[in-house]
Amino acid sequence: MVKKTLIGVRLENPAEAALREWFEKEALASPANLEEAARLLIGLITGLYGLLFIVLAVAGDPLPAYLKLPLVKTLGTLAVVLLMVCLLAALDVVLPRPWSAASGQPASQKAEFEKIVKRKADALKIAVYAFALGAGALGAVLAAGLVSV
């Protein structure tokens, strides 16, 4: 004999419906939010690179003594590399690429959407960490320059 289980079903109340609709709207806006954050990082990085190159161009010849310190050279190189990693990771977030999902299969579309969001979120996470470390290293370079003057 087959055992049957009775499952109770109730309609969602207005608060639950509003919350579900809000989550659905936020989920669909997630890729755009991630891309907007990546574009902000791209702008910040290009600004920091511009500042760094202006400082080096104005430094003159011979270079100031603080730019010859091994710690400043190491931190400066680390900052440039980390900021480049940030820039590349942020560009990966906004880089258009083809995605394919079966048009008549919501499960396939959902899985593809989750892949898109995960890829963008992972790349943005790398970009944010690299930016934080690179900005910290650049700040240490600037502090070393101020202390040595």
Condensed to tens digits (0 to 9), the pLDDT of residues 2-21 reads 788 877 777 888 888 888 78
Condensed to tens digits (0 to 9), the pLDDT of residues 97-125 reads 888 877 778 888 888 888 999 999 999 99
d(CA 70, CA 88): 27
Q: CB count, 10 Å around CB of 16?
A: 11
Condensed to tens digits (0 to 9), the pLDDT of residues 24-41 reads 887 788 888 899 999 999
Can you give 37-59 as a three-state secondary structure string?
A: HHHHHHHHHHHHHHHHHHHHHHC
